[in-house]
Each structure stands twice: as C-alpha cells, then as structure tokens.
Chain A
C-alpha cells in the first residue's frame, strides 16, 4: 500500500522531530538538535529492516520515493519565500561577512576533499550498482 510508505515516512519524521526537541531541551538549547538527521537515520534503519524481512513492497517504496522526488520543487518554493530584499539591501557588513564566510567554507571543502583518498563519484557508484543488479531507475524530477 502506498499510504504505508507515506505513513512510515511521517512516523520517522515526527519521531525524529520529537527526539531532536528532546535532545535540545536536554542540552538546554532553544532549538531542535538534529531532528531531521535522526529522522533520516530512522528511515534508513527502517528500510534495511523491511528489506531483510521481505516486507519492502513496491507500494511502500513508492510512498516514500514520491516525496523524495518532490524535493526540488519544494526547495524552489522555499527559495521563493526568502527575504531576498533584506539580504540584498542590507549594508556592507552583511555582504562582507556573508561572502567571506561562504568563501572560507568553500575553500575548506576543497581542502578536505583533497585530503585522503578520493571517494568514488556518484557516477562511478551508480555504474557499479548497475553492473551488479538491474538498474535502480533514476527518479524523475
């Protein structure tokens, strides 16, 4: 059933959000600490568990993957409601602080990516997966 996939996703999201709030208040922070991340880990665990038990039906998969595929349109909607005007208009302090913070972080990403052995790229991973089994099928966005 498709709804069981949607419900599984909803339960993981709610549980993650709850645990994130709990963790936040335990640490004395007025924020959700890693709620989405906890929910993602729960969903990964649920997927592994369901697959092992042979309960991963096409319906369950579809119910979750549908929302994953809607992700980019949702991000576009999110971009359309940012307060871009204030960000663009506010003074040089904001410009300088924003630009330098982003540049330093980009540079650090580049640095860390070069340290250690180079990871396999997404294309290589998918090519390997395709060689092993039937193609997973690219989600249509």
Chain B
C-alpha cells in the first residue's frame, strides 16, 4: 500500500491523466448506456468532478477539492491555470475567422453587459442583506461578476475578510451554476452557433464556468466562448474598483 501510494504521488501528473481518463470513459459509458445520449458525457464528467471536490472538501476539510488528497495532487497541476490556458489557446486553432469577425461587435457589447448586469444584481442583493457601505456593496457586486474580480476589487478597496469570502463564494457559486446550467438551458437560449457562443462567453464571464458549460454543451463552441470570456475578468478588474465603485459611492454615499 505504501509502495503504491509512493508510485502514485511520485508520478502525480501521470496519475491525474489516468484518473481523469477513467472518469471520462465512465461518463461516456453512462451517457451512452444509461441516458441514451440525452446528457453529454463531458457534462457528466464535470458533475462527477464537482461532486468529488465536494466529497473531498468534507473529508479533508481543505479548500482545493480532491487536490488536498496527497495521491491526487496531480489533478491540481492538470486542471490548474497553466495547462487550462494552454489548452484553451490550442482550441483557437479551430476558430473560423469569418464567423468570429461577424460576431465581434456584438461580443464586445455582451462583454459590457456581462460586467454591469451581474454587478447590479450582486450589489442589490448585498443592499437587501443589510450592507450599507459602498466598499462592501461594490466587493459583493464584483464577486457576482467573477470570483477573481471580487477579491481583486475587495483588496483594492480594503473590504473586510468576511465580505471578501462572501464575494469569492458568490463568484465560485456562479461558475458552478454556469457549468451545470449551460447544457440544460442551451437549447432555450439558442446556444448552437459561434455568434451566440461569443455572446454567451462575454455575458457569463467566468472562464471556468463558460469553458466547462460550453464543453458540456458542444465542444466546437468552446473557442468562441473562451475568446470573449477571457477579456471579462480583466474588464471587471478594471471597472469594478474604479468607475463602478464611484457610482455606488455616489448613490449610497460614503
């Protein structure tokens, strides 16, 4: 057992490939045999991943999902920002330039709406829960944009750590909801072409949510959604602690 443990953790990344591969195979089998292709195999795999992260969180008390289990540490490298960005960029190889150019202007439009709408919603909920100071309201509103914009904004404005935690949790919850919800609503919101995928990426923001959700819906749409989503966090980090904060302060005063 000790020797096996050593073999697995000494080859952490290889272990991760093997385990994720097994999960993918299992999910595709479930999709095909139990659900008759009604739910995409990747959607099932992502839900299994999230469920495993939940269980691991209960078991280890850590905050990094299955990565807190020593033999599974390689999952952290495999699904970390470095390889994730590397693989997202690779998907650009399949982008149809003509299609992407057609949706350029509407994508930028979606990007602006995707920052402002969640911010307004998050801020209103913060006010409804009794927050009255501009810093807390802005930080929670920014968390509803993405879970990176939240803490970046909070740190810039000097928000309390409880508010920061709420802000991050809102962003993470949003990402998880987007991952699970996208394949369910895809048909209803017309998510079957590059144009709407770019609009979707700009509006939903959260690269992890968008890429996971689109992967579970139709893999071919991923590069289009990622292309706009990637500007979302930067834009949010730019406007939330500056313009949006000033507007909130102007409304609630102080």
| Interchain CA distance A67-B222 in the complex, whole Å | 14
| Residue from A12, A37, A48, A87 in contact with B227 in the complex, judged by beta carbons closer than 8 Å | A37
Instruction: Write the A79-95 contact mask toward B (1 if CB under 8 angstroms, else 0).
Output: 11111111110111111
Which of B2-10, B29-37, B121-129, B245-253 lies on the face that meets chain A? B121-129
Determine whether the beta carbon of B49 is less than 8 Å from that of A36.
no
| Residue from A68, A73, A96 in contact with B91 in the complex, judged by beta carbons closer than 8 Å | A68
Determine whether the beta carbon of A100 is less than 8 Å from that of B16.
no
What is the number of residues of chain B that contact chain A, defined by CB distance less than 8 Å? Answer: 118
A129 to chain B: closest CB distance in Å? 8
| Residue from A40, A47, A48, A116 in contact with B88 in the complex, judged by beta carbons closer than 8 Å | A40
Q: A39-B89, A83-B65, A113-B199 are in contact. Are A31 and B148 (CB under 8 A)?
A: yes
In the complex, A29 has a CB within 8 A of chain B = yes
| Interchain CA distance A18-B72 in the complex, whole Å | 31
Count of A-B residue pairs with CB < 8 Å = 331
Determine whether the beta carbon of B76 is less than 8 Å from that of A81.
yes
Chain A residues near B166 (CB, 8 Å)? 90-91, 93-94
Chain A residues near B185 (CB, 8 Å)? 106
| Residue from B46, B83, B93, B175 in contact with A76 in the complex, judged by beta carbons closer than 8 Å | B46
Most A CB atoms within 10 A — which of B65, B155, B208? Answer: B65
Chain A residues near B189 (CB, 8 Å)? 106-107, 109-110, 113
Instruction: Write the A41-76 contact mask toward B (1 if CB under 8 angstroms, else 0).
Output: 101100110000000000001001111101111111
Determine whether the beta carbon of B177 is less than 8 Å from that of A73.
no
| Residue from B21, B91, B95, B114 in contact with A71 in the complex, judged by beta carbons closer than 8 Å | B91
The closest CB in chain A to the CB of B27 belongs to: A76
| Interchain CA distance A111-B106 in the complex, whole Å | 12
Residues 85-127 of A contacting B (Cβ, < 8 Å) = 85-88, 90-102, 104-110, 112-114, 116, 118-123, 125-126
Most A CB atoms within 10 A — which of B23, B100, B174? Answer: B174
Chain B contact residues: over half helix, strand or loop, or mixed?
Answer: helix
Determine whether the beta carbon of A82 is less than 8 Å from that of B170.
no
A102 to chain B: closest CB distance in Å? 5
B254 to chain A: closest CB distance in Å? 21
Chain A residues near B71 (CB, 8 Å)? none
Instruction: Write the B163-181 contact mask toward A (1 if CB under 8 angstroms, else 0).
Output: 0011011101111111101
B interface vs A, CB < 8 Å? 16-17, 20-21, 23-24, 42, 45-46, 48-54, 56-58, 63-67, 72, 75-76, 78-80, 83-97, 99-100, 102-103, 106, 109-110, 113-114, 117-118, 121-122, 125-126, 128-129, 140, 143-144, 148, 152, 155-156, 165-166, 168-170, 172-179, 181, 185, 188-196, 199-200, 203-204, 207-208, 211-212, 215, 218-223, 226-228, 230-231, 233-235, 237-238
Q: Contacts A98-B173, A109-B196 given; 18 further ones with Cβ under 8 A?
A: A9-B90, A13-B85, A29-B152, A33-B231, A35-B230, A47-B93, A70-B87, A75-B79, A79-B79, A81-B64, A82-B53, A83-B63, A98-B144, A99-B177, A102-B174, A105-B117, A109-B199, A125-B193
